[in-house]
Amino acid sequence: MSIYADDVVNFTSVLKIAYNFLTGRDYLQKKKSKERKTLVSVASGFPDLVFAADSIPVFPIRMEKFKLNLYLLALNSATSLFGWNLTTKLLGIAKQIDFLKIVDNVLNDVINNINSRYNSLYDLAIQKNVSTEYCFGVKSIYGMHVSEANNCDYSLNFTIRCNKYNKYLKSLRALIPNQIWVEIPSMDKENEETTLEIMVNNLQKAITELENITGNMVNDNSLKKQFRIGNQVKRYYKTIIHDISTSNFYPCNPATFAEILALLTISFQDYNSNAQRYLENISQLVKEMRERINRGVGMEVSNRPRILLTPIFNGWEPEAQEIVYNLGGRVIYSDWDLLGLLEEISVSKNSDPIEEYAQFLLNSSNKGLFCLNNCEVLINSYQKYVKRTKVDGLIINQLEDCHINSACYDLMKNKIRTELRIPSTNIKFKKIGENMEQTKAKLSSFMELYS
C-alpha cells in the first residue's frame, strides 16, 4: 500500500492539508475558546457565508479526535521547530539515506483514517436509531452531529433536491437547536426572476441571523473578500482537474493523484475552516505539481485510461481507485466541479454579492446534479460533464438507500455507453469495506474493455 508514500513526502502542500484536517479538533477548540469565534456546522462546500461573518465553518467530522500517524506526529514537532519548508527538506534528505522508515503510508493512512471514522459515525447513527431509509452519506453526517454537535454553536443548512437529506436536516434540530436555514427554491423556468428574488431573500434572512448570532456585520466588502478567496481556490482546484489530470505525465503516481483528489473532495467542504490558509496550500500544491512535471519527476500515464468515479462526497469505496490503478487505469474524482460548486462568483465592481451568490446556488442546485430527483435532468448533466471533461470512462457510485433508483442509474450508464461511446459501469456502495468482492469483479470486467 505504501508505494505512494514516496510521492507524498515531497508535497508539502498535501501534508499540510492532511495535517490541518486531522488536527482540526485542537485548532477549532482554540478558535472557540481563545478567539471566541462562533463555530458553525456546514457541509457540501457551503462555507462562504460563515467566513464572511468572521466565524468558523466546520464540517463536524473535523472535531473528531484522529490518531496522527508517526510521520505526521514527527512533523508536528519538527514544524514547530523549523517551519514547514525546512521540515520537508529535512525529511526528504532523511528519506534518501533511508533513515526515516516511518515515512510510510502517509496519505493512504490519512484517507483510511478518515474513512474508518466515517464508518464508525455511520454505526453511531444506527445505534441512535437514525432512519434506516438514509444513504451512507446522510447516516454518517448524522453520526458526526451525534458525536460533535455540542462543540458547534450553530448549524447552517442548505436544502437540496433530496427529500431524505432535507428530512435529515430537520431531525438535526434535536442535536443542534440553533439552526439557520437557506432554502434553495426549484428553478421556475417560466419565472426565473422570481426564483432569483426568493433566493436572494432567503440569503438575506440567513445573513441577518448570522449577524445576530456572531455579532459581526456581513456587508458587500466581507462577502466579496470571501468570494475572491473562494474563486482563487476554485481556479487552482480546476487547474488540477482540467489541466494536470488530463496531461500524459503526472507529477506522481496516479494512485497518489487520486488520493490527493479524494483529500481535496473531503477538505473542500469547509475549506479546512480557514479559507486563506486553504488557498495558500492549494496554490502551493499546483506549484509543486508543475515543478515536478517540469523536472520530469512523476509518471508517464498516457497508456492509462482516465476514469471518472462519481459521486463520492456522500461516501464511496476508496479501494476502488486502487483496484482500477492495479488494472491499468487512473481514477479522477471531481464531484464539486460536476456539481457546479467550482463555478466562480462574480466580484466585479458593480455586482451585488448576495445576488451573485444566489445565482451561483441556483445554478448548482438546478443543474440536476445536486442529488436531484429528476432522472432525465440528472442524466443530461452527467452526459454534458463527461463530454466536456473528455474522460475515457465513467464509474457511477450507486449508494444503497439513495432515492435515485437503480433504473435511473442503469439508464444513465447505458446512455453514456451508447451515446457518448465510452465504457461506463456502476458499483453499489453501502458502507466502506463491504461488498468488496462484487466491486472487484465489476471493476475487473469494466477494465477489460480497455485491454
For ligand SF4, give the closer residue by CB, 105 or 265: 265
Decide: 205 and 156 in contact? Cβ < 8 Å: no
Report the residue from 156, 324, 371, 408 that binds ligand SF4 according to the rule CB under 6 A.
371
Question: What are the CA-CA distances from residue 393 to residues 242, 319, 354, 379, 416 (Å)?
Answer: 16, 18, 38, 15, 9
Site for ligand SF4 in 163-202 (CB under 6 A): 164-165
Decide: 321 and 107 in contact? Cβ < 8 Å: no
- Give 343's contacts (C-beta < 8 A, 6+ positions apart): 234, 360, 363, 364
For ligand SF4, give the closer residue by CB, 161 or 234: 161
Decide: 258 and 349 in contact? Cβ < 8 Å: no
- Residue span binding ligand SF4 (CB under 6 A) among the ranges 1-9, 102-110, 162-170, 187-195: 162-170
Torsion-angle region of 368 (φ positive above 0: left; ψ -120 to 50: alpha; else: beta): left
- Residue span binding ligand SF4 (CB under 6 A) among the ranges 64-72, 160-168, 288-296, 433-441: 160-168
What is the DSSP pairing of strand 249-250 with strand 299-300?
A: antiparallel
Nearest CA to 345 out of 326, 332, 335, 358 is that of 358
> Minimum Å distance from CB 43 to ligand SF4?
10
Number of residues that bind ligand SF4 (CB under 6 A): 12
Interface with ligand SF4 includes 330 (CB under 6 A)? no
Interface with ligand SF4 includes 339 (CB under 6 A)? no
Interface with ligand SF4 includes 379 (CB under 6 A)? no
Sole residue written with cell 472487484: 440
For ligand SF4, give the closer residue by CB, 72 or 396: 396
Interface with ligand SF4 includes 312 (CB under 6 A)? no
> Minimum Å distance from CB 73 to ligand SF4?
35
Q: How far apart are CA 213 and CA 215, in angstroms?
A: 6
Interface with ligand SF4 includes 156 (CB under 6 A)? no
Cis peptide before 311 (omega within 30 of 0): yes
> Minimum Å distance from CB 24 to ligand SF4?
23
Helices (H), 340-389: 353-366, 375-389
Interface with ligand SF4 includes 402 (CB under 6 A)? yes
Interface with ligand SF4 includes 130 (CB under 6 A)? no
Interface with ligand SF4 includes 152 (CB under 6 A)? no
Interface with ligand SF4 includes 45 (CB under 6 A)? no
86, three cell numbers: 525546512
Report the residue from 147, 314, 321, 381 that binds ligand SF4 according to the rule CB under 6 A.
314
Interface with ligand SF4 includes 439 (CB under 6 A)? no
- Residue span binding ligand SF4 (CB under 6 A) among the ranges 122-130, 146-154, 344-352, 401-409: 401-409
Interface with ligand SF4 includes 404 (CB under 6 A)? yes
For ligand SF4, give the closer residue by CB, 6 or 400: 400
Decide: 282 and 233 in contact? Cβ < 8 Å: yes
The 8-class DSSP code of residue 37 comes to: P
Report the residue from 50, 162, 244, 301 that binds ligand SF4 according to the rule CB under 6 A.
162
Interface with ligand SF4 includes 403 (CB under 6 A)? yes
Q: Is 373 exposed, middle or buried (0-12, 13-18, 19+ CB in 10 A)?
A: middle
Residues forming contacts to ligand SF4 in the complex (CB under 6 A) are: 135, 137-138, 162, 164-165, 314, 371, 399, 402-404
